[in-house]
Homo-oligomer: A and B are copies of this chain.
């Protein structure tokens, strides 16, 4: 799929999935797209656990308030960062940015392969959910699941929320011009 088309068609999906498996070859291809994302000083610290074990999927989907795509996902990709990221440039760490860039690459790969997903982040940070899921996946101390991506073939509508026009967010040479 053309890269501009993938960027335009990516959307956040929280609806039902068809009862179709996601082959490991596709999951690997999606995560390989994430591995190729840039990272500060090429440190490549983001780690990924791909979940396709039915028991694990059921346990994660059973967490109260999980959205429908998490409950019905045929696979999940957990993106893992350090709890206390090491500073690698002038006292700054870039793991949040690195993880986000990897997630965006993976969402585009998901789109190109005709699956749908949603960037689950804030939900993980409340009621100890990141820690609970991390324990199920053997995530070691000092690391934490920052983002979770459900993957499956969407049964519901592919609907993008409206976006603000270019002129409201982008300017040539002077802010607000």
**A24 close to B (CB within 8 Å):** yes
List A residues 7-40 near B (Cβ within 8 Å): 7-8, 10, 12, 24, 28-29, 31-33, 35-38, 40
User: Of A66-74, A92-100, A150-158, which binds chain B?
Assistant: A92-100
Contacts of A126 in B (CB 8 A): 90
- Give the residues in chain B near A37, CB-CB below 8 Å: 7, 104
Judged by DSSP, the binding face of A is mixed
Q: Is the CB of B121 within 8 A of A176?
A: no
Do A174 and B3 touch (CB < 8 A)?
Answer: no
Which B residues are in CB contact (< 8 Å) with A99?
A: 97
Q: Looking at A47, A50, A105, A166, which has the most chain B CB atoms within 10 Å of its CB?
A: A105
In angstroms, how far is the closest chain B Cβ from the Cβ of A26?
A: 12
Q: Roughly how many angstroms separate A167 CA and B65 CA in the complex, as a whole number? A: 33
Residue of B nearest to A51 (CB): B173
With both beta carbons as reference points, the residue of chain B lying nearest to A119 in the complex is identified as B38
Among candidates B35, B38, B53, residue contacting A164 with C-beta atoms closer than 8 Å: B35
A124 to chain B, nearest CB (A): 10
Chain B residues lying within 8 Å of A171, measured Cβ to Cβ, are: 47-50
A interface vs B, CB < 8 Å?
1-8, 10, 12, 24, 28-29, 31-33, 35-38, 40, 42, 44, 46-53, 56, 80, 89-90, 92, 94, 96-97, 99-101, 103-105, 107-109, 111-112, 119, 121-122, 125-126, 137-140, 143, 161, 163-164, 166, 169-177
Q: A44-B169, A49-B170, A52-B173 given. 9 additional CB < 8 A pairs?
A: A2-B2, A31-B166, A35-B166, A42-B161, A89-B122, A90-B122, A96-B97, A100-B101, A104-B104
